[in-house]
Amino acid sequence: MRMARVAACAACYHCGLPVAEPGRWRARILGAERELCCAGCEAVASTIVAGGFEQYYETREATARTPLSQALARSAVYDDPAAQKQFTAAGEGFLEATLILDRIRCAACLWLNERTLRQVPGVLRADINYATQRAQVAWDPRRTKLSAIIEAIRAVGYDAWPFDPQRQSALDRDTRRAALWRLFVAGFGAMQVMMYAFPAYVDEGAGDLSGSDASLMRWASLVLTLPVLLFSCGPFFSGAWRELARLRPGMDTPIAIGIAAGFLASTWATVTGQGEVYFDSIAMLAFLLLGARYLELTARQRAAASLDRLARWQPSEALRLADEADAGSVESVPAHALVAGDLVLVPAGERVPADGTVERGASSADESLLTGEAVPLAKRPGSELVAGTLNLEQALVMRVTRAGAQTRAAAIARLVERGAAAKPRLVEAADRIAHALTWVVLAVAALAGIRSGDPWIAIAVLVATCPCALALAAPVALASTAARLLGRGVALTRSSALETLAKASDVVFDKTGTLTAGRFTIARLQLLGRAGEGRCRALAAALEASSRHPLARAFQDEVSREASRGSRVPVEDVVNFPGHGVEATAGGRRVRIGTEAFCQGLAGTPAPATPRDAALTPVYLADDGGWLSVFLLEDSLRPEARQVLDELSAAGLRLHLLSGDHPAAVGSLAGRLGLLEWAGGAAPQDKYMYVEKLQGAGRTVVMIGDGLNDAPVLARADASIAMGSGADAAQAQADCVLLAQDGEARLAAAAECFSLARRTMRIVKQNFGWALAYNAVALPLAAAGWIGPLEAAIGMAASSFIVVLNAMRAG
Amino acid sequence: MESLYLLVPLSVAAVFGIGWVFWRSLHGGQFDDLERPGTDVLSDDQ
């Protein structure tokens, strides 16, 4: 039971959470004493003030994240020279690395981090890019270490990881720069050429503009349009060339033809001194088209860069046995240095560094990385171990079979690279329409030109009906939405999923880890013997204090409370029985906590019958004198679960709950959440068939689960959303990952996925409608000669721009 | 309008000059982070 005084609580000045014990933690910030909620906030606030960075509190736009209280990865691991080779660059007496910053809330946080970094002695240079939230740090390895730098960032309440340069894309930056350069040349050239064209527009034939002056203007226009054509329009020409080589005209062909034809005709007019010139229209056309493409590029790159935050270099060491017979001869090596055949020691509580089989020892492993269920699997000699999973109870000695890039986890991580490779069906349809339209346009242009005898009509047709709006309609909207979702903590690994999410009719939820938090708490306690409740709790807490079993965590919360009340029970000779329970000596007696069968071994008699709630997991406590108590644990429901489900059903989606758990437990949960359709005790094949049946009835099914839980089912569903607690790349197998923030994935983000997806598709359809309508009007007008190339250029480029701006509305 | 024969070519040359300046600043990294200058205004220090 927590001390919960609601309503009248002050809010912590640093992180905004309610202050439960006013007066206990304070700091003097910006000239006044401020209340803080915990020791962590006090430490961070004091550090910020001591560093002279109080200004942070003035300019920040949001409260800070509550400082992490659990143990962070040992930062010393970053100093290993072999590991550092992977992400640092060496210079003359200094090392340089890029760090991804975490827990950033606003620009003030970035400012604070930069100032803090620069203050660390030994740091030569620290620059933070506000757009990507990455820091370039250079330091003198003789005066400071990377671990000290990362500790400095943690001291002010943030976190940082080295950026894996294998993922780094200097290419992205160069692409963006090249696009911006082209845009500038086109824009600046267009402006200047328009100035030269101006006299010709205002000249009413009254003779103000002499022939030689007009010729001068034309030549100047030509000279300035040349770089625009040759350089800025390069992508259009190379694109058109590629398309024509395959005889598949797409977006670029009409543009390229229109621009080239316009330029050649204008050049001819300049040289011969007769006819009209259209250099200004061509330059402006190029500018507007490139502008639209640039916006699309930045939107796409931004989404990709944010996704790169998942590309942290994961520090991992392994304890390799130098001498196979001697379990004490361990040496610490980086995990990527392991090879098949090595023998490694995996201590209790550590992650398995590579794929392998158990040589010696017995323990259990948490494979929620793969299965999504936190129920530990027993491991004995001969059992398989998977890299990245957690060894729970006792040390194991393992023979490596696959290490480094060959491990299953690494293979899964490579799937993340897929990104937005698969085009949404809608976009493919657009491509096909544009393809057909191009042939029609070319034919009409040729006919109109021949019939009227005026090549400018043909050019007007080509330019007016360019299907760029069609091409730009979808990609910008999708990229924008992906970036926006990322800001909400949702990573879209396949933007094609947006289309499916918008069309979804049914949503299937997994239970453990999705609707529930995967954390157990003690719901009830039933006394079975002579010991009182306090004694039972204290005994249980003491026995489970060092256990890593997921159920043990419910008891470990008791430990701190008992410690503060001074009623800790000393225990000795703690023995762990993986899969069964823990035994120890307390107060002179042997005590056991664990499964009913395990405790019965000590108590002697069968457990007394107790009213059982199938939704709760029982843990028994007994000593050699008899039964003591049974604890009933429940998997806590996520607080936002009910709300999310209500939102989704209000949006018209049918909701289902599918779980492998006991039907009674699943049924009671379904009742609590108001779900009408549910199924418990479902094996993976049952889940698969359930989804298949729904699809057979014509429904579009979205599955929400965690990890690679039931991978075939996730693949079977039309779209899949995964809970990203733990930030394991494995979750990226799904189309959409709800990223963890402060260790907890946000289920509420799931509801946003659906609503944003629908909005995006609406906007894409609006864009398509507009593009087609515009073309339907412009084509006949241009063919009839009612609009010249200039108006055609303006109209076409403007419509592209409108489409792009509308698309950015999605994001 | 003889002055035009001087001014127009001058302006063409000026365009190339300005283009070169932009090239330099672009590849010097001035356009890499467009969000930061907005918030830098708020800091008091150097």
Kindly report, residue by residue over A72-119, the tens digit of the pLDDT: 555 666 777 766 776 777 778 888 888 888 777 677 788 888 888 988
Contact A63, A15 (CB under 8 A): yes
pLDDT band at A638 (very low <50, low <70, confident <90, very high): confident
State the pLDDT at residue A724: 65
Is the model's pLDDT at A231 over the cut of 60? yes
State the pLDDT at residue A6: 41
Report the candidate in A317, A377, A368 with the shortest Cα–Cα distance to residue A347: A317
State the pLDDT at residue A205: 64
Interface check B25 vs A, CB under 8 A: no
pLDDT band at A705 (very low <50, low <70, confident <90, very high): confident
What CA–CA distance (Å, rounded) separates A250 from A246?
A: 10
Report the candidate in A721, A709, A710, A667 with the shortest Cα–Cα distance to residue A685: A710
pLDDT band at A188 (very low <50, low <70, confident <90, very high): very high
Is the model's pLDDT at A7 over the cut of 50? no
Beta-carbon separation of A196 and B8 below 8 A: yes
Handedness of CA A230, A231, A235, A238 (dihedral sign): positive
Is the model's pLDDT at A165 over the cut of 60? no
Which distant-in-sequence residues (6+ apart) come within 8 Å of A353 by Cβ?
A316, A317, A318, A335, A338, A344, A346, A387, A403
State the pLDDT at residue A684: 66
Of B22, B27, B32, the CB nearest to A129: B32
Q: Please name the helix (run of DSSP H) or strand (run of DSSP E) that holds residue A703, with its range, or none.
A: strand A701-706
Neighbours of A35 (CB within 10 A): 19
- SS3 label, residue A403: coil
- The residue behind tokens 């398995």 is A352
Quick one: average pLDDT of A649-667? Answer: 82
Contact A25, A42 (CB under 8 A): yes
State the pLDDT at residue B11: 92
Beta-carbon separation of B32 and A59 below 8 A: no
Report the candidate in A631, A621, A610, A633 with the shortest Cα–Cα distance to residue A530: A621
Quick one: average pLDDT of B1-26? Answer: 91
Is the model's pLDDT at A742 over the cut of 50? no
State the pLDDT at residue A371: 46
Q: Between A226 and A280, whose confidence is greater?
A: A226
Of B1, B12, B26, the CB nearest to A213: B1
Which tokens belong to A347?
A: 């201590």
Secondary structure of A476-523 in HEC code, one letter for each residue: HHHHHHHHHHHHCCEEECCCCHHHHHHHCCEEEECHHHHHEEEEEEEE
What CA–CA distance (Å, rounded) separates A622 from A530?
A: 11
- Within 13 Å, how many C-alpha atoms sit on residue A514's CB side? 30
Is the model's pLDDT at A809 over the cut of 90? no
What CA–CA distance (Å, rounded) separates A273 from A180?
A: 35
What CA–CA distance (Å, rounded) separates A507 from A651?
A: 12
Contact A579, A586 (CB under 8 A): no
State the pLDDT at residue A2: 40
- The residue behind tokens 């999605």 is A810
Q: Between A344 and A167, whose confidence is greater?
A: A344
pLDDT band at A572 (very low <50, low <70, confident <90, very high): confident
pLDDT band at A559 (very low <50, low <70, confident <90, very high): low
Is the model's pLDDT at A270 over the cut of 50? yes
State the pLDDT at residue A733: 59
Interface check A125 vs B, CB under 8 A: no
State the pLDDT at residue B18: 94
State the pLDDT at residue A225: 93
Which residues are registered as beta bridge partners of A90? A95
* CA A324 vs CA A333, A358, A460, A607: distances in Å: 16, 14, 80, 45
Q: Which residues of A touch B27 (CB under 8 A)?
A: 177
What CA–CA distance (Å, rounded) separates A709 from A722?
A: 9
Is the model's pLDDT at B46 over the cut of 60? no
Helix axes A748-783, A455-464, angle to 10 degrees: 170
Is the model's pLDDT at A576 over the cut of 60? yes
- SS3 label, residue A88: strand
A residues 236-275 near B, CB within 8 Å?
Answer: none
Neighbours of A605 (CB within 10 A): 9
Quick one: average pLDDT of A709-724? Answer: 73
Which tokens belong to A657?
A: 């709950």
Weakest mean pLDDT among A310-314, A699-703, B20-24: A310-314
What CA–CA distance (Å, rounded) separates B46 from B34?
A: 19
Q: Between A103 and A760, whose confidence is greater?
A: A760
**Among A64-73, A205-214, A217-226, A638-647, the range of highest mean pLDDT:** A217-226
Which residues of A are known to be catalytic?
Answer: 510
Is the model's pLDDT at B44 over the cut of 70? no
Is the model's pLDDT at A203 over the cut of 90? no
Beta-carbon separation of B26 and A181 below 8 A: yes
pLDDT band at A68 (very low <50, low <70, confident <90, very high): low
What CA–CA distance (Å, rounded) separates A259 from A382?
A: 70
List strand residue ranges (DSSP E) for A12-152, in order.
25-29, 32-36, 88-90, 95-102, 123-129, 134-139
Between strands A701-706 and A506-509, the pairing is parallel
Beta-carbon separation of B44 and A107 below 8 A: no
Of A111, A184, A224, the CB nearest to B22: A184
Q: Between A611 and B30, whose confidence is greater?
A: B30
Contact A710, A372 (CB under 8 A): yes
Beta-carbon separation of A111 and B34 below 8 A: no
Beta-carbon separation of A220 and B8 below 8 A: yes
State the pLDDT at residue A728: 46
State the pLDDT at residue A184: 94
Quick one: average pLDDT of A581-610? Answer: 82
Neighbours of A674 (CB within 10 A): 11
Neighbours of A350 (CB within 10 A): 18
What CA–CA distance (Å, rounded) separates A707 from A373?
A: 9
Secondary structure of chain B in HEC code, one letter for each residue: CCHHHHHHHHHHHHHHHHHHHHHHHHHCCCCCCCCHHHHHCCCCCC
Per-residue pLDDT of A38-50, as tens digits, reads 777 888 888 888 8
* CA A667 vs CA A227, A449, A681: distances in Å: 71, 73, 10
pLDDT band at A811 (very low <50, low <70, confident <90, very high): low
State the pLDDT at residue A614: 65
Q: For residue A316, which phi and psi values (nearest 5 degrees)?
A: -150, 130
Is the model's pLDDT at A340 over the cut of 80? yes
Of A111, A177, A213, the CB nearest to B39: A111
Residues composing chain A = 811
State the pLDDT at residue A372: 45
State the pLDDT at residue A565: 55
State the pLDDT at residue A191: 93
pLDDT band at A355 (very low <50, low <70, confident <90, very high): confident
Beta-carbon separation of B31 and A210 below 8 A: no
Quick one: average pLDDT of A137-161? Answer: 86
Is the model's pLDDT at A180 over the cut of 90? yes
Task: Answer yes or no: pTM beyond 0.90.
Answer: no
Which residues are registered as beta bridge partners of A507? A655, A702
What CA–CA distance (Å, rounded) separates A376 from A363?
A: 9
State the pLDDT at residue A729: 39
State the pLDDT at residue A710: 59
State the pLDDT at residue A76: 66
Q: Which residues of B touch A131 (CB under 8 A)?
A: 32-36
Interface check A188 vs B, CB under 8 A: yes
What CA–CA distance (Å, rounded) separates A153 from A158?
A: 6
What CA–CA distance (Å, rounded) separates A232 from A180?
A: 10
Interface check B18 vs A, CB under 8 A: yes
Weakest mean pLDDT among A175-189, A495-509, A744-758, A787-801: A787-801
What CA–CA distance (Å, rounded) separates A454 from A789?
A: 12
Looking at residue A351, what DSSP letter applies?
A: B
- The residue behind tokens 């242009």 is A445
State the pLDDT at residue A315: 43
Quick one: average pLDDT of A423-444? Answer: 74
CA dihedral angle for residue A374, residue A379, residue A385, residue A386, rounded to 10 degrees: 0
What CA–CA distance (Å, rounded) separates B18 from A192?
A: 12
Q: Which residues of B touch A216 (CB under 8 A)?
A: 4-5, 8
Is the model's pLDDT at A145 over the cut of 50? yes
What CA–CA distance (Å, rounded) separates A748 from A731?
A: 18
Chain B: residue whose CA lies nearest to A208: B1
CA dihedral angle for residue A392, residue A397, residue A400, residue A406, rounded to 10 degrees: 10
Is the model's pLDDT at A540 over the cut of 90? no
What CA–CA distance (Å, rounded) separates A739 from A719?
A: 17
Contact A552, A559 (CB under 8 A): no
With pLDDT > 90 as the criterion, what percentage of chain A qualifies? 5
Quick one: average pLDDT of A647-673? Answer: 83
Which residues are registered as beta bridge partners of A88? A97
* CA B7 vs CA A185, A264, A284, B4, B10: distances in Å: 21, 26, 23, 5, 5
Which distant-in-sequence residues (6+ apart) come within 8 Å of A777 by Cβ?
none
What CA–CA distance (Å, rounded) separates A323 from A331?
A: 10
What CA–CA distance (Å, rounded) separates A656 from A640?
A: 17
State the pLDDT at residue B19: 93
State the pLDDT at residue A224: 92
Of B4, B15, B36, the CB nearest to A224: B15
ipTM of the complex: 0.89
Quick one: average pLDDT of A731-751? Answer: 68
Report the largest interatomic distance among the alpha carbons of chain B, rounded to a whole angstrom: 54
Average pLDDT, chain A: 77
What CA–CA distance (Å, rounded) separates A283 from A745?
A: 49
